[in-house]
């Protein structure tokens, strides 16, 4: 009797334990269902507030794709006039932003850039929808439009627009890779020509140097250089007050930082980053704040070059796969039939590291810390942003 009771108890306990898993899953799906049915605007759907909301956001999209619901199509069709205006702006090259003359202009530019970011998120959603519908040609075109849009911003009138432009281009290249991985019916030769033309159109470090030269001649103490956040600029002012610097001395110190940075930009990335690390004597509080920020922008230039050059190689790898039904054992096999030449890792000036992994591959740049982590530490996932920049196909 006692054994029978214990057996029934264990069966009941096991049954309850098993039931909790689908209940948790159902609760998660219900939250996403509610979010999906209750969103009121494009911004509410496409701009997750924090990382916890990001997962709900992704589940919302998955629900939309699974249901083939018309809400997401309506969201995109409602914004079609925005996309058309966006393309008109690209054609007329109206994307540049002015040099800032006052704090009010700075706020206005920040507002414009925030809207640009929102627009590119919406375009990313559109690309995901096109891939879901297997409309790859339109998806590719929108990827190229995002990259072109980022380039126009990067050519803009100030360093902040350049910074946002680089981030938007990165977004475009990542979307482009996602599309390339999912289709075999691409005009690879044409796509490679497009990426090569983007490379020729924007020489990232040169544009960074041009903007620094432009801002160098227009530094005013009452307007934060757009490289700095309000907190950083507050730090500069506090440091100058604590150290007894005059406003003229602060402006002179900022100009010296700009001039040094312009000199480093002419070096290769590994040379420039090494030069930036050299200790400065005597210590200057203004320099201590500003130089790391300038160095971070230089690193962003290198990351953009890495994203673009890696995408060029990845398109070549997919081109090879679709002709041979396998990936090459080494990158040199891509030249000259699939790629005109091999682009090197911008941070070393040498070949990207490439390894076959099962049926796929892994490729990486050593990144801004100039240290080979053998593809084990990904800079985009690390807290300090150091590590390798990794690309892979499983």
**Domain's final residue, options 295, 329, 349:** 295
Flag whether pLDDT at 354 surpasses 70.
yes
- Quote the pTM value: 0.78
Instruction: Summarize the confidence of residues 136-152 as an average pLDDT.
Output: 88
Which helix (DSSP H) or strand (DSSP E) does residue 109 occupy? helix 103-132
Q: For residue 330, is it within any domain?
A: no
Q: For residue 168, is it within any domain?
A: yes
Same domain, 173 and 219: no
Q: For residue 366, is it within any domain?
A: no
The pLDDT score that the predictor gives to residue 41 is: 46
The SS3 call for residue 145 is helix
Same domain, 26 and 113: no
CA distances from 46 to 118, 121, 144, 357 (A): 8, 6, 20, 34
Q: For residue 335, is it within any domain?
A: no
Same domain, 42 and 110: no
Candidate ranges 95-99, 262-266, 309-313, 372-376; pick with highest mean pLDDT: 309-313
Q: For residue 280, is it within any domain?
A: yes
Give the range of the structural domain holding residue 49, as residue numbers without chain letter.
2-55
Q: How many domains does the chain have?
A: 3
Specify whether the backbone of 93 is left (phi greater than 0), alpha (psi in -120 to 50) or beta.
left
Instruction: Summarize the confidence of residues 49-61 as an average pLDDT.
Output: 52
Quick one: CA torsion of 148, 153, 155, 161, rounded to 10 degrees?
A: -150
Phi, psi of 363 (to 5 degrees): -140, 145
- What's the mean per-residue pLDDT of the chain? 77
pLDDT digits (tens, 9 = 90+) for 198-210: 988 888 888 888 8
**Domain's final residue, options 295, 322, 341:** 295
Q: For residue 87, is it within any domain?
A: yes
pLDDT digits (tens, 9 = 90+) for 118-138: 677 778 878 887 887 788 988
**Domain's final residue, options 272, 295, 318:** 295
Q: For residue 29, is it within any domain?
A: yes
Same domain, 166 and 115: yes
CB-based contact 182:136 (threshold 8 Å): yes
Residue 353 β-bridge partners = 364
**What span, in angstroms and rounded, lies between the C-alpha atoms of 37 and 14?**
35
The pLDDT score that the predictor gives to residue 6 is: 44
Instruction: Summarize the confidence of residues 332-360 as an average pLDDT.
Output: 92
Flag whether pLDDT at 281 surpasses 80.
no
């Amino acid at each position: 009797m006692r054994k029978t009771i214990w057996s029934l108890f264990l069966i009941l306990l096991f049954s309850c334990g098993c039931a909790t898993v689908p209940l948790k899953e159902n609760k998660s799906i219900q939250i996403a269902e509610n979010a999906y049915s209750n969103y009121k605007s494009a911004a509410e759907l496409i701009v997750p507030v924090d990382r916890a909301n990001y997962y709900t956001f992704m589940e919302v999209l998955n629900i939309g794709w699974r249901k083939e619901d018309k809400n997401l199509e309506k969201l995109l069709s409602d914004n079609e006039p925005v996309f058309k205006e966006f393309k008109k702006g690209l054609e007329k090259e109206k994307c540049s932003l002015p040099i800032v003359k006052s704090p009010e202009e700075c706020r206005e530019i920040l507002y414009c850039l925030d809207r640009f970011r929102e627009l590119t998120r919406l375009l990313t959603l559109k690309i995901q929808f096109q891939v879901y519908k297997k409309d790859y040609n339109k998806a590719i075109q929108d990827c190229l439009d995002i990259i072109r849009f980022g380039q126009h911003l990067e050519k803009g009138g100030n360093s902040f627009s350049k910074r946002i432009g680089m981030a938007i281009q990165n977004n475009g290249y990542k979307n482009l890779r996602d599309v390339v991985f999912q289709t075999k019916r691409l005009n690879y030769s044409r796509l490679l020509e497009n990426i090569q033309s983007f490379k020729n159109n924007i020489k990232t470090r040169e544009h960074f140097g041009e903007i620094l030269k432009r801002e160098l001649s227009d530094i005013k103490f009452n307007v934060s250089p757009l490289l700095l956040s309000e907190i950083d600029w507050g730090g500069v002012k506090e440091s100058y007050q604590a150290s007894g610097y005059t406003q003229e001395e602060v402006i002179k110190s900022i100009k010296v930082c700009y001039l040094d940075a312009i000199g480093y930009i002419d070096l290769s990335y590994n040379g420039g980053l090494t030069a930036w690390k050299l200790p400065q004597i005597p210590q200057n509080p203004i320099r201590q704040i500003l130089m790391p920020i300038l160095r971070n922008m230089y690193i962003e230039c290198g990351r953009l070059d890495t994203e673009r050059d890696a995408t060029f190689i990845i398109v070549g790898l997919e081109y090879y796969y679709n002709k041979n039904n396998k990936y090459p054992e080494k990158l040199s096999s891509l030249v000259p039939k699939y790629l005109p030449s091999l682009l090197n890792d911008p941070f070393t000036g040498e070949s990207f590291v490439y390894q076959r992994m099962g049926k796929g591959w892994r490729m990486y740049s050593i990144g801004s810390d100039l240290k080979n982590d053998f593809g084990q530490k990904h800079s985009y996932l690390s807290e300090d942003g150091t590590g390798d920049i990794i690309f892979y196909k499983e």
